Amino acid sequence: RYMLINRQFEELFPVTNPELMGKTDYDIFPKEFADAFVANDHTVMESGFPVQSEEVAPQDDGPHTYISVKFPLRDASGAAYAVCGISSDITERKRMETELHRRNEDLDAFANTIAHDLRAPLRGLRMLSGVLLEDYGAELGSGGTGLVQGVAEAVDSMDALIEDLLEYARLSRREIELQPVGLREAVNEALKQLASQV
């Protein structure tokens, strides 16, 4: 039963200290909410330790989510006789987390669709390059063979680029890992790609 509430509680759930004294959660909240509050209170009393949990409470503009820390109050002998709770409204943070999760899912779906659509013609180019080399390699000569091999290498580079883009899209949900990079290899690869465009 309630022993004391602060002014913020009175403003959020229009009730005053005198009105609430001696009443229970079931007197002011619907049963599904009160059940959760009471269960957390019992956990504190039975364990004798503070408990942090998310609690949802109905308000005029809809349910609000709170981070609640509840802890036992003890008498002079050390026995727990009541539960004290401090709550912080995290409704907006939860809404933003839900929206961020939804946007990440949309980004994943978009990236996977794009990757699939880009890789389909690459598979065709890779297959055709292989057929050309296998069936007509002798007729192409060294120059023609080199060109076909250049196409195959470009296909592999494009495929690697698509995979890099997918990895980049996933960065928002992973901790960034720093790794050493071989600058000589990176520069040589860049020069190689630039030379192929001349």
Q: What is the pLDDT along the chain (198 residues), one digit of tens a residue?
A: 999 999 999 988 888 989 989 999 999 999 999 999 999 999 999 999 999 999 999 998 899 999 999 999 999 999 999 999 999 999 999 999 999 888 888 888 888 888 888 888 888 888 888 888 888 877 888 888 888 888 888 888 888 888 888 887 777 667 778 888 889 988 988 888 788 665
Q: In what order do the strands lie in the sheet with 80-89?
A: 51-59, 62-74, 80-89
How far is it, in rounded angstroms, from Cα 52 to Cα 86? 10
User: pTM to 2 decimals?
Assistant: 0.58
Give the pLDDT of residue 92. Answer: 94
- Asked whether the beta carbons of 34 and 21 are under 8 A apart, the reply is no
How far is it, in rounded angstroms, from Cα 9 to Cα 59? 11
Per-residue three-class SS string for 80-139: EEEEEEEEEECHHHHHHHHHHHHHHHHHHHHHHHHHHHHHHHHHHHHHHHHHHHHHHHHH
Residue 194 CB burial class (10 angstroms; 0-12, 13-18, ≥19): exposed
- Identity of the amino acid at 140: L
Q: In terms of residues, how long is the chain?
A: 198
- The DSSP code for 171 is G
CA nearest neighbour of 3 among 71, 84, 66, 76: 84
